[in-house]
Amino acid sequence: MIKKIRISAVLFLFFAKVRTIMKKLILVFAFVPFLSFGQTHQTNLKKIYDTELSAGHTYHNLRYLCKVIGNRLSGSPGAAASVEWTRQLMESYDFDTVYLQPVMVPHWERGGKDVVKITNSTKHGVVELSALALGNTQGTGSKGLLAEVVEVKSIDQLKSLGAQVKGKIVFFNGPMDPTKVDAFEAYGGANAQRSSGAAEASKLGAVGAIVRSLSNRIDDHPHTGNQRYAADFPKIPALAISTQDAELLSQLLGEQTGLQLYLESHGEMKTEKLSYNVIGEIRGSEKPEEIIAVGGHLDSWDVGEGAHDDGAGCMQAIEVLRLYKQLGWKPKRTIRAVMWMNEENGLRGGQEYAKVAKAKGEKHIAAIESDSGGFLPIGFSSTGTDAQRGKLASWADLLRPYQLWNLQKSGGGADIGPLRDQGPILIGLLPDSQKYFIYHHTEADVFEVVDQRELELGAAAMTALVYLIEQEGI
Catalytically active residues are 343
Angle between helices 312-327 and 2-55 (to 10 degrees): 120
User: First CA to last CA across the chain, in angstroms?
Assistant: 65
Instruction: For residue 166, give the nearest of 125, 208, 215 by alpha carbon.
Output: 208
What 3-state class would DSSP assign to 303? coil
DSSP per-residue codes, 373-426 = -SS-EEEEEEES-HHHHHHHHTTHHHHGGGT--B---B---TTTGGGGGG-PEE
Instruction: For residue 238, give the nearest of 214, 202, 188, 269 by alpha carbon.
Output: 202
Which neighbouring-strand residues pair with 380?
Answer: 429
What 3-state class would DSSP assign to 354? helix
Which neighbouring-strand residues pair with 383?
Answer: 426
Residue 200 contacts residue 158 (beta carbons within 8 Å)? yes
Which whole-number Å values give the CA distances from 68 to 61, 287, 384, in the listed order? 10, 39, 39
Residue 420 contacts residue 426 (beta carbons within 8 Å)? yes
Question: Distance between CA 260 and CA 42 in Å, rounded?
Answer: 64
Phi, psi of 344 (to 5 degrees): -70, -45
Which neighbouring-strand residues pair with 379?
Answer: 406, 430
What 3-state class would DSSP assign to 363? strand
